Amino acid sequence: MTARPIGAEVSCDGPDASRRCPESAAISPSLNSVTATEVRADGRADGWTRRRRNGRLVDLCPTCKPAP
């Protein structure tokens, strides 16, 4: 039996620290994306952003990202 990596999932951290994402959103990786960095790059193409909140980085879907 051979084990192969199946990839990574990146989910939305919600509109703020006290609320979950109302969509339960997760980035859909392409077939070639394996690492979290590659999956996040796929998400940026779909409108996802990465912000700093409370001293850490969070991933936000298009519904939860702050207005410009």
- Which has more confidence, 8 or 57? 57
pLDDT at 5 over 70: no
**What pLDDT, on a 0 to 100 scale, did the predictor assign at position 6?**
66
**Is pLDDT at 8 greater than 90 in this prediction?**
no
Q: Provide the residue range defining the domain that includes 30.
A: 7-68
Is residue 2 in some structural domain?
Answer: no
The Cα 54–Cα 43 span in angstroms is 22
For 26-64, what is each residue's pLDDT tens digit?
A: 887 777 887 888 888 888 988 999 999 999 999 999 999
And the tokens for 68? 């410009």
pLDDT at 68 (0 to 100): 59
Q: Is residue 1 part of a domain?
A: no
In Å, the largest CA–CA distance within the chain is 50
**42 found inside a domain:** yes
The domain total for the chain is 1
